[in-house]
Chains A and B, each alone.
Chain A
Amino acid sequence: MDTSAPEAPHAAAEWHVTALYQAHALSLARLALLMLGDPDAAQDVVQDAFLGLYRRWDRLASADAAPAYLRASVLNGCRTLLKRRSRPAFHATGEPLESAEAAMMHTEEQRALLAAIRRLPARRREALVLRYYLDMTEDQAARAMGVSRGTVKSATSRAIAAIGRMLKEES
């Protein structure tokens, strides 16, 4: 028998990707849920991200880079889906309906706030989610979105101002 290091067959990729899925899938799905407002679509985006990672595993510089790669994939997937939704569709779909469970979990104020967040343009919503859900700094959010720090700053402040206006109109 020789004692060489293990080769990297598909099994290794499956194994690593499965382990990453256990560790990160839920948090990524939650991120996608905030972006999309739809739990099923959020899970689809996350599945696609992990499938992409699995297919590109051999090209990944290091396993340490996988979580950042996955987050970027999920955000990309959300952007793509939101773009598709913004196009006129043959069968017009409204905003995702709130589930009974979600209705029970949120207060009246939170429901109004969520509705306002969902009405934000995609980029502003993304900036808001990265800054206030993932607690990213402006620099980190800028890197994640692929935009300048100034863009993140203005998108965030405009998002907050817009939400304030929408809530005022509601009341």
Chain B
Amino acid sequence: MSPLEDEIRETLHSEAGRLREVRPLQLPPVAAPDELRAVLRASWARWLRAWQGPAVAAAVVVLVAATLVTLKSLRNEPGTAPVASSSPIAGPYAAADAIPRYYVALGWARTAGSWAIIVGDEQAGKTIATFPLPKGGSLFSAGASGAADDRTFVVSAATSGSVEGPPTWYLVRIFPGSADPVRVTKLPVKFPAGEGVNEIALSGDGTELAVAATAGASSREETLQVYSVATGQLQHSWSTGFSESAGNRAPVADLSWVGNSTVGFAVTYSPEVREQVRTLDISKTGTSLLADSRLVWSQYVPAAPHGTRAALHACDTPFLTGNGQAVVCGNFTKSPSNRLSVVWLAYPLATPTRPRVIGSLQEPPDVSNFNGSISVNWTNPTGTEVIGSWNTSVGVTRHGGTATEVTNYEGVIANGKVKPFPRVPEPKAAW
């Protein structure tokens, strides 16, 4: 190649490089007879935090209690590193691709009259144990996450009568077949006072706990902290301000572990939904959540123009898979005949423009909307199997008026299909 050709090549690239961004895509609006849900997603943790306040209506309590089940057991897959001696894991890892059998949830225990840690066997469809939490009128924040062995979980819960108290941390271990199958002990996690837990994720080997938190209601400082499960000591903390995500209570969420030294997390900016999945190498130094992390996936959904309906929607709960190769999330589609379908997708990081359908399910014709997120609660390391949850809204006539009945579903998504868990879903709430 001649020097002139080299110069031409260099000049063309230099000229092209001066265009650094493009304006948002403007597609023509599509007529939609029904108002679909807002583009801004809200994970269950955020949903819970949305019910802050001492005066919680009964219907809302029922709603939250039913919803809490979906907080359970986002199991994190093992890395290649050996299990550390401080690991609370009791037994061998479950097969990496196996659908987890056990779950831990927070729910309302009617008999105890308090919130409780509920440990269940999804396969058998039964509750193994219920541990009441200290009595309090409201559950201000909650998180639950499991290790790769499907027997070790960490739970955080803040209950209080009138004001938000500090969260209490619990280690939940399951010993199937033993006389004492579930053991719950408190963990001495030194979580900063005044901060609220948005979401937690236990590392695959159960030694470390990643926590997404908000420092105060007004400061808009989002932090990602990593604690030692054995000692409760804070090992590292990264933070960032999120003033541009006004209205989004917890823009940092959907935590996952890739091996035992990388944490994946999603960031949602609003009001235009710009979702990012980033990875943070927790073995490196740094304090800035954005500057010290790496962007691995993004999706942009323009806000609907004023006075028009949102035809686009962001993919809910984008989780990085355990192998770090894909992002899985939930979404919905609408057929020309207005039938809604839930769909779970895997976006390979190598080819993010070509998402793969993990599974989908067309809803009955009377389902008019989805209520809240179409969530990923667990995914296998390769993103081919997911446990997901979703809520449908059906219009009903009640007491001479119209109401919306919301039903909570959960199921296994794989091989193009959605298989709801074998239990009859109950209406969560009606209003």
Residues of A within 8 A of B (CB): 1-12, 14-15, 17-26, 29-31, 33-34, 39, 42-43, 46-47, 50-51, 54, 63-64, 66-67, 99, 101-102, 105-106, 109-110, 113-114, 117, 128-129, 132-133, 160, 163-164
Contact = CB atoms under 8 A, between A and B. Distances in A.
Contact of A128 (B8, B22, B334, B343): B8
Contact of A6 (B9, B22, B362): B362
Nearest to A101: B18
A3 B312 CA distance: 23
Give the one of B12, B301, B312, B419 with max A CB within 10 A: B12
Interface residues of B, number: 57
B30 A1 contact: no
A25 B416 contact: no
A39 B355 contact: no
A42 B7 contact: no
B379 to A, nearest CB: 19
Interface in B8-29: 8-23, 25-28
Contacts of B357: 5-6
B336 A23 contact: no
A132 B362 contact: no
Contact of B334 (A9, A39, A54, A164): A9
B364 interface: yes
B341 to A, nearest CB: 5
Nearest to B300: A22
A33 B343 CA distance: 38
B420 interface: yes
Given A19-B352, A102-B18, A3 B417 contact: yes
B18 A14 contact: no
A18 B301 contact: yes
Nearest to A63: B354
Contacts of B419: 3
7 contacts: A3-B361, A6-B357, A7-B339, A8-B333, A110-B11, A132-B8, A164-B4
Nearest to B353: A23
Interface string B300-311: 111000000001
Rank and list the top 8 A-B pairs by shortest CB-CB distance, nearest first.
A30-B16, A7-B335, A133-B12, A10-B30, A23-B353, A21-B25, A6-B360, A132-B9
Contacts of B25: 17-18, 21, 25, 47, 50
Interface in B320-341: 331-336, 339, 341
Contacts of A25: 22, 25
B22 to A, nearest CB: 5
B35 interface: no
B336 A9 contact: yes
Contacts of A30: 16-17, 19
A133 B312 contact: no
Given A6-B362, A15-B331, A109-B7, A34 B27 contact: no
